[in-house]
Structure 1
Amino acid sequence: MTSQVSDELLHIERAGWDSLCESTGADFYGELMLPDAVMVLANGMVMDRNTVVSALSESPPWRAYEISGVRLIVLDDDTAALVYTGTAYREGEEPAFVGAMSSVYHRVDGAWKLALYQQTRKPDQ
């Protein structure tokens, strides 16, 4: 089961990053997030689902991303966390954003939903 859950959640994470590159993140995360879900960003902001949707509708797209060092923590059959290093690039000369990412998912009626997303900027490496 662990391998299947890991594959499913990593697929969702990649789809989320793809949506951020295609400027469709507002719709994607509006659907993916549980009604009371939050995102805790590297700048210290805590955003509820409505705030995330609003912010993503105005955010510039990412050009590319990488996911590495993936770890899965299974809490029960319907709850798991995916932890990884995310590296994202914008257009131009802006340096890459590199952070530790954690996404906690809960399965509702057979579909994984995002309950909590947290990112911590990694120091320059």
Structure 2
Amino acid sequence: MELKELLDIERQGWDALCASTGASFYGELMTDDAVMILANGMVLDRAGVVESLRDAPPWRAYEIDDPRLVDVGSDSKVLVYTGIAYRDGAEPAFRGIMSSTYVLTKAGWRLACYQQTQISQ
């Protein structure tokens, strides 16, 4: 059940990135001390993520392949998958191994850490 639940949240995030609403989505989803570690070497805190997504170009489409869940405690899980994201004019624009660490809070699952590693086409 947790795999499906966390995949649903992950897809909501990608849907928000496709709809240019990622700033508000991740602003609400991330814990106060959360970070995103991007393939280009940047490490962004929650405020940095929100700021970077305000004017980011949308993704056109995405795929989530080979998802698996790593149990790191009763109230925390790591979702690992291969993500493929497409922007207009580039096929595929980005392919990477993604990991999202979620913690269960009174408000539900929240994102504590996201990390991506780009892989070759």
TM range (shorter): over 0.9
Amino acid at match of 1:120: T
SS in 1 for 2:90: coil
SS in 2 for 1:89: strand
Runs of 4+ in 1 over 6 A off after TM superposition: none
- Give the corresponding residue for 1:51: 48
Counterpart-to-counterpart distance in 1, 2:90 and 2:70: 36
Amino acid at match of 1:93: A
Matched, 1:38 2:35: yes
- Give the corresponding residue for 1:60: 57
- Stretches of structure 2 lacking an aligned partner (at least 5 in a row): none
Counterpart-to-counterpart distance in 2, 1:94 and 1:41: 20
Counterpart-to-counterpart distance in 1, 2:43 and 2:105: 23
Which one of the candidate residues 98, 101, 105 is aligned to 1:101? 98
Counterpart-to-counterpart distance in 2, 1:76 and 1:36: 19
How far 1:76 moved relative to its partner? 1.7
Amino acid at match of 1:66: E
- Give the corresponding residue for 2:79: 82
- Stretches of structure 1 lacking an aligned partner (at least 5 in a row): none
Counterpart-to-counterpart distance in 2, 1:97 and 1:74: 27
Matched, 1:27 2:4: no
How many residue pairs end up in the alignment? 121
Q: Which has the higher strand share?
A: 2
Counterpart-to-counterpart distance in 2, 1:123 and 1:94: 13
